[in-house]
Chains A and B, each alone.
Chain A
Amino acid sequence: MSRTRLVACPECDALQRGVPLEPGRRAHCVRCGAVLYRRPKSSLDDTLAWTLSAVALLVIANSFPVVSLEVQGQETHATLFAAAHALHERGMTIIATLVFATLIVAPALELGSLSYLIAPLRSGRVAPGFDRLFRLVHVLRRWQMFEVFMLGIFVSVVKLGHLASVIPGMGLWAFFGLMFTSVAAIASYDEKSIWDRVEAIRGNASPRAATTGAAR
């Protein structure tokens, strides 16, 4: 599908003609410079690989303590679930919800949906519920905060470092990995190209659907 079509800049609404891109290039708005669409060098296989490794790391990150603290023989561990739970117990439900939503629920939904959608797309099939789920992924992308959390761990460790011995846990390394794999997963696909692909598959499967569905 190399036919040109109209593109409207999401930031300034300038109407432009889309042009086919070389791999690794981005199309910018002629007026405000916003990125209109990209053509990643990577394939859907890469996206799936990055996404699945991020899913695995997310499971590890939430199963093992991120850091442990030892004072006079007593030890405490901070797994993310425990942190959210402890905050909730002590009446800080809003903080607990923030931590739970941004570091567990949002990435799990995003990475889970992405693997569910990308895997069949590789072999030219569109997963049921694609529209709704891919729009969800689009919304959740901006709530990804692993790098902020890593900095948060660093600040906490420095704050506690001279009071007690802080022991990095398996969860910490998993979050470190997540910081890269989740960004790599997002960078490896372009939303508009995926939609074009889905449209092309649907167009081939049922040529009539397009004419009956569109209000032209």
Chain B
Amino acid sequence: MTAAIVTAASRGFASCHACGLVSRLAAPAYESRCTRCDAVLHVRKPNSIGRTWALIIAAFVLYIPANLLPVTITRSPFGVQSDTIMSGVAYFWNTGSYDLAIIIFTASIFVPLAKLLALSLLTLLAQRHIQWDPLQCTRLYRMVEFIGKWSMLDVFVVALLSTLVDFSTFAAISAGPGAVAFGAVVVITMFAAMTFDPRLLWEPADHPGEGAARG
């Protein structure tokens, strides 16, 4: 079955990223536009590996303040309390809401890190032209794309808490610097997943003898 597969790129075709129309590429590839929807045509997402690495590294760096700095700061008559993501998880765990503790831990700590590690692995494989079960890798990529937005959970919670708990005389919750870093991690990771081109994972299988042809 695999032997009969022909890729669009190998035949000089490119599929439009917006409308899916398969067109034959004109000579200077970077100037072609889709005849149906006028989107710019690319055989592969432009500079996918470089851009994805840049975004992954930025997200890794921001992951540190996102977890160390407070995401919420609570002012009450009893004093000022700063909470990091992890202490929020601990709060739910200690008060018996194990389900919520697990959901927040998964969405805010586990998923962003797992996504970044998975994307790093995929980008490394694509960059080094390593053929390593492209089907499983593509499935991993789909999973990364699918779960990305769920990490926004904590951003929404912080936004709601700081709007609702705003009793000047009594108590007020405001978003801490960790929330900004965390929001940035989530968005940057989503962009990283978008700039990565899963078709690169199949290239070693498509052209076994070629090695590093594309930069």
For the complex formed, measure the closest distance between the CB of B31 and the CB atoms of chain A, giving whole angstroms. Answer: 10
Within 8 A of A (CB), among B1-23: 1-2, 5-9, 11, 13-15, 17-22
Is A3 part of the binding interface, using a Cβ–Cβ cutoff of 8 Å?
A: no
Is B163 part of the binding interface, using a Cβ–Cβ cutoff of 8 Å?
A: yes
Whether B183 and A160, one on each chain, are in contact in the complex, defined by CB atoms closer than 8 angstroms, is no
Is B112 part of the binding interface, using a Cβ–Cβ cutoff of 8 Å?
A: no
For the complex formed, measure the closest distance between the CB of A191 and the CB atoms of chain B, giving whole angstroms. Answer: 7
Within 8 A of B (CB), among A86-114: 86-87, 90, 92, 94-96, 98-99, 102
Binding stretch for chain A, among B32-40, B50-58, B113-121, B123-131? B32-40
Which residue among B35, B163, B174, B199 has the maximum number of chain A CB atoms within 10 Å of its CB?
A: B163
Whether B134 and A12, one on each chain, are in contact in the complex, defined by CB atoms closer than 8 angstroms, is yes
Q: Which residues of A contact B22 (CB under 8 A)?
A: 5-8, 15
Nearest residue (CB) in B for A136 is B18
Q: Which residues of B contact A215 (CB under 8 A)?
A: 26, 32, 35
Pick from A12, A76, A192, A199: contact of B165, CB under 8 Å: A76
Whether B166 and A7, one on each chain, are in contact in the complex, defined by CB atoms closer than 8 angstroms, is no
Whether B156 and A14, one on each chain, are in contact in the complex, defined by CB atoms closer than 8 angstroms, is no
Contact with B along A153-192 (1 / 0, CB 8 A): 1011011100000000000000000000000000000011
Report whether over half of chain B's contact residues are helix, strand or loop; otherwise say mixed: helix
Q: Given A67-B164, A195-B21, A216-B24, A12 and B157 touching (CB < 8 A)?
A: no
Whether A92 and B175, one on each chain, are in contact in the complex, defined by CB atoms closer than 8 angstroms, is yes
Q: Compute the total of residue contacts between A and B using a CB distance below 8 Å.
A: 205
Whether A92 and B174, one on each chain, are in contact in the complex, defined by CB atoms closer than 8 angstroms, is yes
For the complex formed, measure the closest distance between the CB of B152 and the CB atoms of chain A, giving whole angstroms. Answer: 5
Whether A15 and B161, one on each chain, are in contact in the complex, defined by CB atoms closer than 8 angstroms, is no
Q: What are 30 A-to-B residue pairs whose CB atoms are below 8 Å?
A: A8-B22, A12-B7, A12-B138, A14-B6, A14-B202, A15-B13, A30-B1, A31-B135, A76-B164, A76-B166, A83-B162, A90-B174, A92-B162, A96-B159, A99-B156, A102-B152, A132-B38, A142-B194, A148-B153, A151-B150, A152-B153, A153-B160, A155-B100, A155-B153, A156-B160, A159-B161, A191-B19, A192-B19, A195-B36, A213-B35
Beyond A9-B199, A15-B6, A90-B175: 17 further Cβ-contacts under 8 Å? A10-B17, A30-B5, A32-B138, A66-B160, A76-B166, A92-B162, A98-B183, A98-B187, A134-B18, A135-B19, A148-B150, A152-B154, A152-B155, A160-B161, A191-B19, A195-B20, A215-B26
